[in-house]
Structure 1
Amino acid sequence: MTAMAHEPVSQADVLLEGFLALDTPEGFRAELIEGEIVVTPPPDGDHEDYIELIMSQVVRKSRTDMQFSGNKGLRLQRGEGCPKDHVIPDGTFAPRKLRLYRGADPWMPSDGVAMVLEVTSTKPRADREAKRRCYARSRIPLYLLVDREASSVTLFSDPENGDYRQLCTRPFGKPLPLPDPFGFELDTADFL
Protein backbone atom coordinates (compact mmCIF):
# COMPACT_ATOMS: atom_id res chain seq x y z
CA MET A 1 0.00 0.00 0.00
CA THR A 2 1.39 3.39 -0.97
CA ALA A 3 0.97 6.50 1.06
CA MET A 4 -0.81 9.34 -0.71
CA ALA A 5 1.06 12.61 -0.86
CA HIS A 6 -0.80 15.45 0.80
CA GLU A 7 -0.19 18.99 -0.28
CA PRO A 8 0.23 21.30 2.67
CA VAL A 9 -2.78 23.47 3.35
CA SER A 10 -1.86 27.10 3.72
CA GLN A 11 -3.26 29.41 6.35
CA ALA A 12 -4.73 31.51 3.51
CA ASP A 13 -6.60 28.46 2.17
CA VAL A 14 -8.01 27.66 5.62
CA LEU A 15 -9.12 31.27 6.11
CA LEU A 16 -10.82 31.40 2.71
CA GLU A 17 -12.53 28.05 3.26
CA GLY A 18 -13.80 29.16 6.69
CA PHE A 19 -15.01 32.47 5.27
CA LEU A 20 -16.90 30.83 2.40
CA ALA A 21 -18.58 28.44 4.86
CA LEU A 22 -19.92 31.25 7.08
CA ASP A 23 -23.66 31.40 7.58
CA THR A 24 -24.41 35.01 8.50
CA PRO A 25 -27.81 36.11 9.81
CA GLU A 26 -30.18 37.60 7.25
CA GLY A 27 -29.29 41.18 6.35
CA PHE A 28 -25.72 40.94 7.69
CA ARG A 29 -22.77 41.02 5.30
CA ALA A 30 -19.62 38.98 5.73
CA GLU A 31 -16.54 40.06 3.79
CA LEU A 32 -12.92 38.92 3.67
CA ILE A 33 -10.86 42.12 3.57
CA GLU A 34 -7.08 41.99 3.65
CA GLY A 35 -7.03 38.70 5.54
CA GLU A 36 -9.69 39.69 8.10
CA ILE A 37 -13.30 38.52 8.21
CA VAL A 38 -15.54 41.56 8.68
CA VAL A 39 -19.25 41.21 9.48
CA THR A 40 -21.49 44.26 9.29
CA PRO A 41 -25.10 44.60 10.45
CA PRO A 42 -27.96 45.60 8.13
CA PRO A 43 -27.74 49.23 6.97
CA ASP A 44 -30.00 52.00 8.24
CA GLY A 45 -32.44 53.97 6.10
CA ASP A 46 -30.13 56.95 5.53
CA HIS A 47 -27.45 54.59 4.19
CA GLU A 48 -29.92 53.15 1.69
CA ASP A 49 -31.16 56.64 0.74
CA TYR A 50 -27.65 57.76 -0.32
CA ILE A 51 -27.27 54.65 -2.48
CA GLU A 52 -30.63 55.23 -4.17
CA LEU A 53 -29.87 58.92 -4.82
CA ILE A 54 -26.64 57.99 -6.58
CA MET A 55 -28.04 54.98 -8.43
CA SER A 56 -30.97 56.96 -9.85
CA GLN A 57 -28.67 59.73 -11.13
CA VAL A 58 -26.33 57.22 -12.77
CA VAL A 59 -29.25 55.53 -14.53
CA ARG A 60 -30.74 58.86 -15.73
CA LYS A 61 -27.59 60.87 -16.56
CA SER A 62 -24.75 58.52 -17.59
CA ARG A 63 -23.44 58.67 -21.14
CA THR A 64 -23.12 54.88 -20.99
CA ASP A 65 -26.08 52.66 -20.16
CA MET A 66 -25.17 51.21 -16.74
CA GLN A 67 -26.27 48.23 -14.71
CA PHE A 68 -26.30 48.44 -10.91
CA SER A 69 -25.93 45.78 -8.24
CA GLY A 70 -26.09 46.22 -4.49
CA ASN A 71 -25.83 42.52 -3.70
CA LYS A 72 -23.20 40.88 -5.88
CA GLY A 73 -19.87 40.30 -4.18
CA LEU A 74 -16.49 40.82 -5.83
CA ARG A 75 -13.47 38.49 -5.74
CA LEU A 76 -10.55 40.90 -5.72
CA GLN A 77 -6.82 40.48 -6.31
CA ARG A 78 -4.38 39.97 -3.44
CA GLY A 79 -0.69 39.39 -3.07
CA GLU A 80 1.09 36.06 -3.40
CA GLY A 81 0.04 33.52 -0.75
CA CYS A 82 -2.98 35.59 0.37
CA PRO A 83 -6.60 34.62 -0.14
CA LYS A 84 -8.47 36.81 -2.60
CA ASP A 85 -10.45 39.57 -0.95
CA HIS A 86 -14.20 38.95 -1.05
CA VAL A 87 -15.95 42.31 -0.76
CA ILE A 88 -19.62 43.23 -1.15
CA PRO A 89 -19.75 46.87 -2.24
CA ASP A 90 -22.80 48.94 -1.38
CA GLY A 91 -23.07 49.44 -5.12
CA THR A 92 -21.35 48.26 -8.28
CA PHE A 93 -21.79 49.88 -11.68
CA ALA A 94 -20.85 48.24 -15.00
CA PRO A 95 -21.77 48.95 -18.61
CA ARG A 96 -25.05 47.14 -19.35
CA LYS A 97 -23.65 45.65 -22.57
CA LEU A 98 -21.24 43.51 -20.47
CA ARG A 99 -24.07 41.89 -18.44
CA LEU A 100 -21.62 41.10 -15.62
CA TYR A 101 -24.17 40.22 -12.96
CA ARG A 102 -25.51 37.06 -14.58
CA GLY A 103 -24.93 33.63 -13.07
CA ALA A 104 -25.65 31.90 -9.80
CA ASP A 105 -22.27 32.54 -8.13
CA PRO A 106 -22.67 35.28 -5.48
CA TRP A 107 -19.01 36.27 -6.09
CA MET A 108 -17.86 37.69 -9.42
CA PRO A 109 -14.51 38.93 -10.72
CA SER A 110 -14.04 42.69 -10.95
CA ASP A 111 -13.11 42.78 -14.65
CA GLY A 112 -15.38 45.26 -16.42
CA VAL A 113 -16.65 47.02 -13.28
CA ALA A 114 -16.61 50.78 -13.96
CA MET A 115 -17.18 52.05 -10.40
CA VAL A 116 -17.83 50.78 -6.90
CA LEU A 117 -19.78 52.72 -4.28
CA GLU A 118 -19.46 52.63 -0.51
CA VAL A 119 -21.43 54.61 2.08
CA THR A 120 -19.78 54.69 5.50
CA SER A 121 -21.62 52.92 8.29
CA THR A 122 -20.53 51.09 11.44
CA LYS A 123 -16.95 50.48 10.21
CA PRO A 124 -16.02 53.69 8.32
CA ARG A 125 -12.28 52.99 8.50
CA ALA A 126 -12.72 49.85 6.37
CA ASP A 127 -14.47 51.91 3.68
CA ARG A 128 -11.88 54.71 3.82
CA GLU A 129 -8.77 52.54 3.83
CA ALA A 130 -8.93 48.75 3.43
CA LYS A 131 -11.68 48.62 0.81
CA ARG A 132 -10.08 51.49 -1.10
CA ARG A 133 -6.85 49.50 -1.35
CA CYS A 134 -8.76 46.32 -2.32
CA TYR A 135 -10.51 48.09 -5.19
CA ALA A 136 -7.30 49.77 -6.36
CA ARG A 137 -5.34 46.46 -6.34
CA SER A 138 -8.01 45.04 -8.66
CA ARG A 139 -7.72 48.13 -10.86
CA ILE A 140 -11.36 49.16 -10.60
CA PRO A 141 -11.19 52.56 -12.34
CA LEU A 142 -13.41 54.55 -9.95
CA TYR A 143 -14.28 54.29 -6.26
CA LEU A 144 -17.01 56.59 -4.94
CA LEU A 145 -17.08 57.02 -1.15
CA VAL A 146 -19.92 58.76 0.66
CA ASP A 147 -18.47 59.63 4.07
CA ARG A 148 -21.36 60.40 6.40
CA GLU A 149 -19.14 61.45 9.33
CA ALA A 150 -17.24 63.95 7.17
CA SER A 151 -20.39 65.02 5.24
CA SER A 152 -18.45 64.61 2.01
CA VAL A 153 -18.26 62.54 -1.13
CA THR A 154 -14.91 61.46 -2.62
CA LEU A 155 -14.14 60.00 -6.01
CA PHE A 156 -10.91 57.98 -6.12
CA SER A 157 -9.43 57.34 -9.57
CA ASP A 158 -6.30 56.24 -11.41
CA PRO A 159 -5.48 52.99 -9.55
CA GLU A 160 -1.81 52.07 -9.48
CA ASN A 161 0.46 50.08 -7.14
CA GLY A 162 -2.34 49.12 -4.75
CA ASP A 163 -3.93 52.55 -4.24
CA TYR A 164 -5.61 55.36 -6.13
CA ARG A 165 -3.35 58.17 -7.30
CA GLN A 166 -6.08 60.80 -7.60
CA LEU A 167 -8.99 61.86 -5.48
CA CYS A 168 -11.60 64.60 -5.65
CA THR A 169 -13.59 65.43 -2.50
CA ARG A 170 -16.64 67.67 -2.30
CA PRO A 171 -18.74 68.56 0.74
CA PHE A 172 -22.38 67.50 0.66
CA GLY A 173 -24.31 70.04 -1.38
CA LYS A 174 -21.56 70.58 -3.99
CA PRO A 175 -21.56 68.70 -7.32
CA LEU A 176 -18.90 66.07 -7.97
CA PRO A 177 -17.79 65.45 -11.58
CA LEU A 178 -17.89 61.79 -12.64
CA PRO A 179 -15.64 61.09 -15.67
CA ASP A 180 -16.41 58.75 -18.58
CA PRO A 181 -18.05 56.34 -18.93
CA PHE A 182 -20.46 58.33 -16.71
CA GLY A 183 -19.74 61.87 -17.94
CA PHE A 184 -21.93 63.98 -15.64
CA GLU A 185 -21.82 65.92 -12.38
CA LEU A 186 -23.22 64.01 -9.41
CA ASP A 187 -25.67 66.30 -7.60
CA THR A 188 -25.20 65.97 -3.82
CA ALA A 189 -27.70 68.68 -2.74
CA ASP A 190 -30.10 65.99 -1.47
CA PHE A 191 -27.32 64.52 0.71
CA LEU A 192 -27.74 67.40 3.20
Structure 2
Amino acid sequence: MTATAHEPLTQEEDLLEGFLALETPEGFRAELIDREIVVTPPPDGEHEHYISRIVRQVLRRSETDMDFSGNKGLMLKSGEACPKDHVIPDVTFAPLELGLFRTADSWMPCDEVAMVVEVTSTKPQTDRVAKRRCHARGGVPLYLLVDREDSMVTLFSDPDKDDYRRLPKRVFGDPLPLPEPFAFSLETKDFL
Protein backbone atom coordinates (compact mmCIF):
# COMPACT_ATOMS: atom_id res chain seq x y z
CA MET A 1 0.00 0.00 0.00
CA THR A 2 2.99 2.32 0.40
CA ALA A 3 3.54 4.51 -2.65
CA THR A 4 6.85 4.70 -4.45
CA ALA A 5 8.74 7.99 -4.86
CA HIS A 6 6.81 8.52 -8.10
CA GLU A 7 3.36 7.66 -6.78
CA PRO A 8 1.92 9.83 -3.98
CA LEU A 9 -0.59 8.23 -1.64
CA THR A 10 -4.22 8.83 -2.48
CA GLN A 11 -6.41 10.37 0.19
CA GLU A 12 -7.98 6.95 0.83
CA GLU A 13 -4.60 5.20 1.13
CA ASP A 14 -3.39 7.98 3.43
CA LEU A 15 -6.47 7.52 5.65
CA LEU A 16 -5.96 3.75 5.85
CA GLU A 17 -2.24 4.10 6.57
CA GLY A 18 -2.94 6.67 9.31
CA PHE A 19 -5.61 4.43 10.81
CA LEU A 20 -3.34 1.39 10.89
CA ALA A 21 -0.62 3.43 12.63
CA LEU A 22 -3.01 4.86 15.24
CA GLU A 23 -2.27 4.12 18.89
CA THR A 24 -5.35 4.16 21.11
CA PRO A 25 -5.42 4.34 24.91
CA GLU A 26 -5.53 1.00 26.71
CA GLY A 27 -9.00 -0.54 26.64
CA PHE A 28 -10.23 1.69 23.81
CA ARG A 29 -10.73 0.40 20.30
CA ALA A 30 -10.38 2.20 16.99
CA GLU A 31 -12.26 1.28 13.84
CA LEU A 32 -12.30 2.61 10.28
CA ILE A 33 -15.97 2.77 9.31
CA ASP A 34 -17.11 4.43 6.07
CA ARG A 35 -14.01 6.64 5.87
CA GLU A 36 -14.32 7.71 9.51
CA ILE A 37 -12.04 6.71 12.37
CA VAL A 38 -14.24 5.84 15.35
CA VAL A 39 -12.69 5.42 18.82
CA THR A 40 -14.82 3.72 21.46
CA PRO A 41 -14.22 3.60 25.23
CA PRO A 42 -14.30 0.33 27.20
CA PRO A 43 -17.84 -1.10 27.54
CA ASP A 44 -19.97 -0.83 30.65
CA GLY A 45 -21.34 -3.76 32.67
CA GLU A 46 -24.78 -3.78 31.03
CA HIS A 47 -23.14 -4.04 27.60
CA GLU A 48 -21.11 -7.04 28.75
CA HIS A 49 -24.21 -8.64 30.33
CA TYR A 50 -25.87 -8.84 26.90
CA ILE A 51 -22.71 -10.23 25.31
CA SER A 52 -22.41 -12.89 27.99
CA ARG A 53 -26.01 -14.03 27.56
CA ILE A 54 -25.68 -14.31 23.78
CA VAL A 55 -22.35 -16.16 23.83
CA ARG A 56 -23.58 -18.66 26.42
CA GLN A 57 -26.68 -19.47 24.38
CA VAL A 58 -24.81 -19.82 21.09
CA LEU A 59 -22.22 -22.16 22.59
CA ARG A 60 -24.83 -24.30 24.35
CA ARG A 61 -27.65 -24.36 21.82
CA SER A 62 -26.28 -24.00 18.28
CA GLU A 63 -26.80 -26.82 15.83
CA THR A 64 -23.17 -26.39 14.71
CA ASP A 65 -20.32 -26.15 17.23
CA MET A 66 -19.29 -22.51 17.25
CA ASP A 67 -16.10 -20.71 18.13
CA PHE A 68 -16.15 -17.04 19.05
CA SER A 69 -13.87 -14.10 19.46
CA GLY A 70 -14.56 -10.94 21.40
CA ASN A 71 -13.32 -7.75 19.78
CA LYS A 72 -11.81 -9.47 16.70
CA GLY A 73 -10.63 -7.08 14.00
CA LEU A 74 -12.31 -7.71 10.64
CA MET A 75 -11.33 -6.27 7.27
CA LEU A 76 -14.47 -5.86 5.23
CA LYS A 77 -14.69 -5.31 1.50
CA SER A 78 -15.87 -1.85 0.60
CA GLY A 79 -16.39 0.36 -2.41
CA GLU A 80 -13.61 0.94 -4.91
CA ALA A 81 -13.21 4.56 -3.83
CA CYS A 82 -12.73 3.82 -0.15
CA PRO A 83 -10.33 1.68 1.85
CA LYS A 84 -11.41 -1.56 3.39
CA ASP A 85 -13.49 -0.97 6.47
CA HIS A 86 -11.75 -2.19 9.61
CA VAL A 87 -14.36 -3.01 12.24
CA ILE A 88 -14.24 -4.71 15.62
CA PRO A 89 -17.55 -6.38 16.43
CA ASP A 90 -18.36 -7.08 20.05
CA VAL A 91 -18.49 -10.80 19.16
CA THR A 92 -17.64 -12.75 16.02
CA PHE A 93 -18.84 -16.33 15.57
CA ALA A 94 -17.49 -18.96 13.16
CA PRO A 95 -17.85 -22.75 12.95
CA LEU A 96 -15.43 -24.38 15.41
CA GLU A 97 -14.16 -26.88 12.84
CA LEU A 98 -12.61 -24.06 10.79
CA GLY A 99 -10.20 -22.98 13.53
CA LEU A 100 -10.57 -19.50 12.09
CA PHE A 101 -9.36 -17.43 15.03
CA ARG A 102 -6.31 -19.46 16.05
CA THR A 103 -4.22 -18.48 13.04
CA ALA A 104 -5.79 -15.09 12.34
CA ASP A 105 -3.84 -11.86 12.24
CA SER A 106 -5.02 -8.83 14.21
CA TRP A 107 -7.14 -7.86 11.21
CA MET A 108 -8.61 -10.82 9.37
CA PRO A 109 -10.92 -11.22 6.37
CA CYS A 110 -14.52 -12.09 7.17
CA ASP A 111 -14.98 -14.83 4.56
CA GLU A 112 -15.89 -17.68 6.94
CA VAL A 113 -17.60 -15.63 9.67
CA ALA A 114 -21.10 -16.93 10.49
CA MET A 115 -22.39 -13.98 12.54
CA VAL A 116 -21.24 -10.80 14.22
CA VAL A 117 -22.89 -9.24 17.27
CA GLU A 118 -23.03 -5.59 18.27
CA VAL A 119 -24.54 -4.11 21.41
CA THR A 120 -25.17 -0.39 21.10
CA SER A 121 -22.73 1.74 23.02
CA THR A 122 -21.77 5.42 23.16
CA LYS A 123 -22.44 5.91 19.43
CA PRO A 124 -25.58 3.81 18.79
CA GLN A 125 -26.15 5.25 15.30
CA THR A 126 -22.81 3.82 14.22
CA ASP A 127 -23.96 0.32 15.26
CA ARG A 128 -27.43 0.78 13.74
CA VAL A 129 -26.40 2.12 10.34
CA ALA A 130 -22.70 2.45 9.48
CA LYS A 131 -21.51 -0.89 10.91
CA ARG A 132 -24.58 -2.68 9.53
CA ARG A 133 -23.73 -1.44 6.04
CA CYS A 134 -20.05 -2.33 6.44
CA HIS A 135 -20.91 -5.90 7.42
CA ALA A 136 -23.39 -6.22 4.54
CA ARG A 137 -20.75 -4.99 2.04
CA GLY A 138 -18.33 -7.49 3.53
CA GLY A 139 -20.79 -10.33 2.99
CA VAL A 140 -21.20 -11.21 6.67
CA PRO A 141 -24.33 -13.40 6.54
CA LEU A 142 -25.80 -12.43 9.94
CA TYR A 143 -25.54 -9.20 11.93
CA LEU A 144 -27.20 -9.33 15.35
CA LEU A 145 -27.84 -5.93 16.88
CA VAL A 146 -28.87 -5.48 20.51
CA ASP A 147 -30.25 -1.95 20.73
CA ARG A 148 -30.27 -0.89 24.37
CA GLU A 149 -32.04 2.43 23.81
CA ASP A 150 -34.93 0.85 21.90
CA SER A 151 -34.99 -2.39 23.97
CA MET A 152 -34.95 -4.36 20.71
CA VAL A 153 -32.89 -7.11 19.16
CA THR A 154 -32.62 -7.30 15.36
CA LEU A 155 -31.12 -10.01 13.18
CA PHE A 156 -30.00 -8.57 9.85
CA SER A 157 -29.57 -11.28 7.21
CA ASP A 158 -29.33 -11.83 3.47
CA PRO A 159 -26.69 -9.19 2.63
CA ASP A 160 -27.11 -7.40 -0.68
CA LYS A 161 -24.59 -4.71 -1.67
CA ASP A 162 -24.45 -2.30 1.28
CA ASP A 163 -27.41 -3.47 3.34
CA TYR A 164 -29.39 -6.50 4.45
CA ARG A 165 -32.70 -7.58 2.91
CA ARG A 166 -34.16 -9.25 6.00
CA LEU A 167 -34.34 -7.75 9.47
CA PRO A 168 -36.66 -9.51 11.91
CA LYS A 169 -36.93 -7.57 15.20
CA ARG A 170 -38.05 -8.58 18.66
CA VAL A 171 -38.59 -6.56 21.81
CA PHE A 172 -36.54 -7.61 24.81
CA GLY A 173 -38.25 -10.59 26.40
CA ASP A 174 -39.35 -12.22 23.13
CA PRO A 175 -37.28 -14.99 21.50
CA LEU A 176 -35.55 -14.30 18.17
CA PRO A 177 -35.13 -17.24 15.77
CA LEU A 178 -31.58 -17.67 14.48
CA PRO A 179 -31.17 -19.59 11.19
CA GLU A 180 -28.60 -22.29 10.44
CA PRO A 181 -25.84 -22.86 11.35
CA PHE A 182 -27.28 -21.78 14.72
CA ALA A 183 -30.85 -23.11 14.35
CA PHE A 184 -32.33 -22.08 17.69
CA SER A 185 -34.33 -19.19 19.14
CA LEU A 186 -32.26 -16.68 21.08
CA GLU A 187 -33.91 -15.99 24.43
CA THR A 188 -33.93 -12.33 25.42
CA LYS A 189 -35.70 -12.51 28.81
CA ASP A 190 -32.39 -11.82 30.56
CA PHE A 191 -32.12 -8.59 28.57
CA LEU A 192 -34.93 -6.99 30.59
Give distance in 2, aligned partners of 1:144 and 1:162: 16
Q: Name the count of aligned residue pairs.
A: 189
Give distance in 1, aligned partners of 2:42 and 2:161: 33
Give distance in 2, aligned partners of 1:22 and 1:8: 20
Q: Deviations over 1:86-141 (max 9, x none)?
A: 00000000001111112362100000100000000100000000000000001111
Who is 1:8 aligned against? Answer: 8
Give distance in 1, aligned partners of 2:5 and 2:88: 37
CA RMSD of aligned residues (A): 1.1
TM-score (norm 2): 0.96
Q: Secondary structure at the match of 2:182?
A: coil
* Structure 2 residue ranges without an equivalent (≥5): none
Letter of the aligned partner of 2:26 in structure 1? E
Q: Give the % identical residues.
A: 71
- 1:20 and 2:20 correspond: yes
C-alpha spacing 1:105/1:176, structure 2 compared with 1 (3 Å) = same
Give distance in 1, aligned partners of 2:129 and 2:40: 16
- 1:131 and 2:131 correspond: yes
Q: Secondary structure at the match of 2:157?
A: strand
C-alpha spacing 1:148/1:81, structure 2 compared with 1 (3 Å) = same
Pairwise CA distance, 1:5: 5.7
Give distance in 1, aligned partners of 2:5 and 2:49: 55
Q: Secondary structure at the match of 2:154?
A: strand
* Structure 1 residue ranges without an equivalent (≥5): none
